[in-house]
Structure 1
Amino acid sequence: MAYAMEMDMDEPKVEFHPINPGSKTFHWILTLFILLIIPSVSAVFAIANRLSWSLVLHFIAAGYSVFETLFLDFPDNIDNHENRTSKGTSWFLSALLGVTVFVGTFINGTNLVINKFYPKYASPNEYSKMSKLYKSLSVVVVLTGWVRVCMAPVALFGFCYGRHTGQCIAHGIMGSAFIAYSFVLSLVLVVPWIRKHQLLSQGAGKMKSQEFLDSTVMMVWGIVNTFTEHRWGREGWSMGDYQHTSMGIIWWAGGLLGMFLSRNNNRSFVPALLLIFTGYSMSAHSQHLMISTKVHAVFGIALMGAGVTRIMEISLLLKDKACSPSGKILQFQYFPCFCLCLAGIMFMGANEEQLQLVHDLGSDHSAYVLVVSSAAFMIFLWFQGLLWGYLRLVGYDEDGEIAPAKYEAVDIEDFELGDMSAEETE
């Protein structure tokens, strides 16, 4: 290992000069804000039935997306042209935003064509099928915006081409899956009527615990991974095949046990234990570059941290209950969610060519880990901000109580005048 590190340090560093780095960085930040942050806020408005505000934000995102698709690129250092995947994602997002805006105009009655020629199809009801479709499209827009934002640096720096494409896709999908898992656990934790569902449904067989759902997804993913990472009987085995296939086997095996133990709305340690095993395997996963080995180790540590703290939360802190006796969120409960977010973004940034670029620029793993961890902090803040905003829009705080803002809107003098008028009437 020491020899490999010495070889890495002695290799000559290459010059890297991205095309128009200042303008392209500003372009990427603008894309991040308008095609991901704004649509996510719009989705929150939509789900909270504030459809007018949601539609205004979608109009802004759609206009920028069309302009970006037509006139703005992320030229790389290979052929000075944005790669087809990134541009294709941009076109798809523009079309999706157009459909979302069109559906939104059905709901608030601003679609002039429908109102004039087909008034019977107008659907101003916020609980109609069109409203549900609009909310679903709003979520899909956010997911597509995430892909778009992640694809832009790939196009800008010009990696993940050729034989590296599959590996980059695998890292992007798996890393995004851990980040999505972080958001789901945050949703279950922060939204009070989800967090307290176990206490409200004792004896209700229809309810499923979070661990039952986690175990089911892990079981399905494990089966897929077992039979897709290696073409059984048609090719020889490599070390990577052994590692990925064995990971699939333990996920479906553990997932089946988790489903059994978490039946009848019970809590279970199994999904967290699978994260610990996966994290250990990845932390010991040797790579071609020393920087890649160390970044994978940090990813594994983050994943093991999520598993260990999740077991501590379920078994020691909550004692197999859905939430604390007071019903409030304990600060420790945020830790597993953040570790999953950190593991996801770390794995997304651990693909071969990206780390090769970092290595060629003369950086080391510690600096790179700090930068990637900063992104994890910002993503987790984004998650919590969206959930907090949703609760405020529907009139509640994190503890499930009616927010003080609901009462601040009422002037006390109105009550006094009302009482005086009543007395005078008498």
Structure 2
Amino acid sequence: MEMDMDEDLPEFHPINASSKSFHWIITLFILLIIPSISTSLAFANRFHWSLLLQYIATSYSVVESLFLDFPDNVDNHENRTSKGTSWFLSIVLGITIFLGTLLNGSNLVINKFYPHLSKHYNEYGLMAKIYKIFSLLIVLTGWVRVCMAPIALFGFCYGRHTGQCIAHGIMGSAFILYSFVLSLVLVVPWIRKHQLHSSNAQNLKSQEFYDSTIMMLWGIVNTFTEHRWGKEGWNMGDYQHTAMGIIWWGGGLLGMYLSRNNQRTFIPALLLIFTGYSMSQHAQHLQISTKVHSVFGIALMSAGVTRIIEIVFVLKDKACSESGKILSFQYLPPFCLTLSGILFMSATEEQLQLVHDLGSDHSAYILVVSAAAFLIYLWILLCIWLYLKLVGYNEDGEMYNQGYNNIGTEEFELGDVSDVELEVDDDDASTPTER
């Protein structure tokens, strides 16, 4: 097969490339990085600082929605999905700020017209949980906004390509979210050690039980939505995606059974291996697309293989290492998931056609996308690290002082963590007190 890179390449002249790139970088920082820091602060109950950062993000989001566009090179307009995401993010930010002002007692409307409600909101634990949920929703919407901007800039994913772009975006983001969940379970010390020290470990559920359940549910949805049964003919894409749904709900059911009674199982990892193999075998129109899909499949299979090695050989079917410390190998499965997710998001037909038109090859493109995977995984770990620092954990996963922050090591929930200040007592300067 001749390499399609040998064909005559059309000229590509991006319009206002420098200003557009600067705009995207600012959007990335203010609408994704800052909300991520704000969410870490919110989950650690640093509500005042969290709210301050959300004010900054809201101000920029509203200005961007009104005046700043990501126009493409063809019709010089931003597609409706990108602009709609921008407005949705602005609305969610506004709601979150309203909830935050209720929480810390700074809501001007409530204080002026309904002062009797102010104390009620401050003492109501449900409000804190709702505020944290909305803070997390901001991060997820900011991720969509940042990913939508390049699509609007380059003007692809229109017409018949829209469905493929949506599928790649959702599935790729799902793999990255899965990476975040595994990283959270790995890095947060008391979650990692929970089953090791729990007296009722047999009544708990292993991570693979939840993984298998989600995979089973996703498989059922995928089986009956990728093809309209009895209403249209079958094509190769329908066979591939429907078959993937079937193996996921079949394997998910087996994984739920094998992971009962808090047992570890290899089934979710095995499903990743099968999925990665299937994806790597997808024939594409462009050689560069075939290569990128192949590397994506390898990355996803690597996530499954390393996960099996971690469960069976590194941890020997236990919830964590005997020392309770994180072993270096344990960071590899989540990273492979992040890499596979961003590769899949970057493997749409029009996107790779654009790379082909620019004269690049698959190896250079894969290196750039892999660099993004490193940065995304770093972003995930730093957000978790910031949260742990705020609630009083040191680098070894131990509390600075058991009285410093009563986070509670028996359940991980959205509330019940009090803001803490250190007060110096004349008799004992080292005694921390909690407010």
Quick one: distance in 1 between partners of 2:398 and 2:268? Answer: 31
1:178–1:341 CA contact under 8 A, matched in 2:
yes
Q: Write the mapping of 1:349-360 to structure 2, written as runs, cut at 5 A.
A: 349-360=346-357
Match of 2:25 in 1: 29
Quick one: distance in 1 between partners of 2:17 and 2:428? Answer: 67
2:105–2:122 CA contact under 8 A, matched in 1:
no
Quick one: distance in 1 between partners of 2:330 and 2:304? Answer: 12
- Find the structure with the greater CA-based Rg: 1
Unaligned runs of 5+ in 2: 406-420, 430-435
TM superposition shift of 1:402 = 1.6
1:65-88 CA-to-partner distances (Å, cap 9, x unmatched) read: 001111100110121001000000
TM superposition shift of 1:9 = 2.4
Match of 1:55 in 2: 51
Match of 1:121 in 2: 117
Of residues 209, 213, 216, the one that matches 1:212 is 209
Q: Write the mapping of 1:9-408 to structure 2, written as runs, cut at 5 A.
A: 9-122=5-118, 123=120, 125=122, 128-397=125-394, 399-403=396-400
1:42–1:53 CA contact under 8 A, matched in 2:
yes
Quick one: distance in 1 between partners of 2:313 and 2:211? Answer: 20
TM superposition shift of 1:232 = 1.5
More helix by share: 1
Quick one: distance in 2 between partners of 1:399 and 1:126? Answer: 34
Shift of the 316–205 alpha-carbon distance from structure 1 to 2, 3 Å rule, reads closer
1:292–1:355 CA contact under 8 A, matched in 2:
yes
Higher mean displacement: 389-398 or 47-56: 389-398
Task: Provide runs of 4+ in structure 1 moved above 3 Å.
Answer: 123-127, 202-206, 417-420
TM superposition shift of 1:403 = 3.5
Higher mean displacement: 305-314 or 281-290: 281-290
TM superposition shift of 1:419 = 7.5
Quick one: distance in 2 between partners of 1:397 and 1:285? Answer: 46
TM superposition shift of 1:374 = 0.5
Quick one: distance in 1 between partners of 2:121 and 2:229? Answer: 55
1:171–1:348 CA contact under 8 A, matched in 2:
yes
Quick one: distance in 1 between partners of 2:316 and 2:294? Answer: 31
TM superposition shift of 1:134 = 0.8
AA at the equivalent of 1:189: L
Quick one: distance in 2 between partners of 1:265 and 1:337? Answer: 21
Quick one: distance in 1 between partners of 2:74 and 2:48? Answer: 44
1:223–1:249 CA contact under 8 A, matched in 2:
yes
Quick one: distance in 1 between partners of 2:342 and 2:170? Answer: 11
State TM-score, norm by structure 1: 0.93
The RMSD of aligned alpha carbons is: 2.0
Quick one: distance in 2 between partners of 1:85 and 1:201? Answer: 47
Unaligned runs of 5+ in 1: 421-426
1:46–1:135 CA contact under 8 A, matched in 2:
yes
1:128-187 CA-to-partner distances (Å, cap 9, x unmatched) read: 221111111100111000000000000001110111000000000000000000000000
Quick one: distance in 2 between partners of 1:418 and 1:91? Answer: 55
Quick one: distance in 2 between partners of 1:155 and 1:184? Answer: 29
1:327–1:399 CA contact under 8 A, matched in 2:
no
Quick one: distance in 2 between partners of 1:125 and 1:315? Answer: 47
SS of equivalent residue, structure 1 residue 96: helix
Quick one: distance in 1 between partners of 2:380 and 2:33? Answer: 10
2:5–2:361 CA contact under 8 A, matched in 1:
no
Quick one: distance in 1 between partners of 2:139 and 2:243? Answer: 33
AA at the equivalent of 1:61: A
TM superposition shift of 1:284 = 1.4
Quick one: distance in 1 between partners of 2:198 and 2:385? Answer: 25
Shift of the 186–398 alpha-carbon distance from structure 1 to 2, 3 Å rule, reads farther
AA at the equivalent of 2:393: Y
Quick one: distance in 1 between partners of 2:355 and 2:110? Answer: 54
Quick one: distance in 1 between partners of 2:244 and 2:368? Answer: 28
TM superposition shift of 1:121 = 2.1
1:190–1:398 CA contact under 8 A, matched in 2:
no
SS of equivalent residue, structure 2 residue 204: coil
Percent identity, please: 74
**What is the aligned length?**
412
AA at the equivalent of 1:246: A
TM superposition shift of 1:281 = 0.9
AA at the equivalent of 1:302: A
SS of equivalent residue, structure 1 residue 325: coil
